[in-house]
Amino acid sequence: MLAIINDVLDFSKLEAGKLILESIPFPLRSTLDEVVTLLAHSSHDKGLELTLNIKSDVPDNVIGDPLRLQQIITNLVGNAIKFTENGNIDILVEKRALSNTKVQIEVQIRDTGIGIPERDQSRLFQAFRQADASISRRHGGTGLGLVITQKLVNEMGGDISFHSQPNRGSTFWFHINLDLNPNIIIEGPSTQCLAGKRLAYVEPNSAAAQCTLDILSETPLEVVYSPTFSALPPAHYDMMLLGIAVTFREPLTCNMSD
């Protein structure tokens, strides 16, 4: 009930032009990670894989409205979780344009859900409308989430669009403009201690694997990736990263040596 009231209030403010966005410094990565971590619980409850991939060239120290950005992500990813019964929900954040004072980022949310019929797509961003009347009965909601999301994105100087096919899933993407924070310059931790080390990485989910491999590519580690533990090439590894379940039908055996 509180969520419904908040949606109606936000919609009313946006329609009246009375919703004022904040302009404060915030760390982009931890802001996105925070909201995705909260959403991960409902995703994992349905057995869905939720991934967040922020490209390394996306600036982290920005100025804008972090809470409204989190609201946009919550609405889009929440919908993806709601209408996906199995598979993946993948979030990709990329730099679209960069100047001395501003950055434009693009966020893509891709799911493997029920999709949206073409006949219903034109009314998706209309207030109090959902693509199918049965959706409201089955999943609830006000029909305002996407409308509010679109208006917030527009207020941030951006735009939103989507592509969807029934039974094939949907991809929503939006871009927004953020100011760069010139007062903070943070150097990342040194990774030179990893030079010459070999890492074995096992992850059956291809989207999750790509996210992690992108991060690992920024280090001097030699990474050997395999989707399954059994297919991992036999070799000496200095460390292992296992993105697999902790329970196995067969015992997991590793030989450890100094």
What pLDDT digit, counting tens, does each position of 120-143 carry?
888 887 755 555 555 544 545 545
Provide the residue range defining the domain that includes 204: 192-242
Asked whether residue 234 falls in the same domain as residue 112, the answer is no
Q: Are 97 and 218 in a shared domain?
A: no
Instruction: Write down which residue in 143, 158, 180 finishes a domain.
Output: 180
Same domain, 87 and 128: yes
51 with 137, same domain: the answer is: yes
Secondary element (H or E) of residue 202: strand 198-202
Measured CA to CA, the distance from residue 95 to residue 98 in angstroms comes to 7
Residue with tokens 């959706």: 135
Task: Please write the tens of the pLDDT for every residue from 155-200.
Answer: 999 999 999 999 999 999 999 999 999 887 665 667 788 889 999 9
pLDDT lower than 70: segments of the chain: 1-18, 127-143, 185-189, 244-258
Supply the pLDDT for residue 51.
93
**pLDDT at res. 215:** 87
Q: Are residues 208 and 80 in the same domain?
A: no
Same domain, 40 and 132: yes
CA 236 to chain CA centroid, nearest Å:
34
Is the four-CA dihedral 59, 62, 66, 68 of positive or negative sign? Answer: negative
- Considering the domain boundaries, does residue 235 fall inside one? yes
Q: In total, how many domains does the chain have? A: 2
In 49-183, at which residue ranges do the beta strands (DSSP E only) sit? 49-54, 61-64, 88-98, 102-111, 159-165, 169-180
Q: Is residue 73 part of a domain?
A: yes
The H or E element containing residue 153 is: helix 145-155
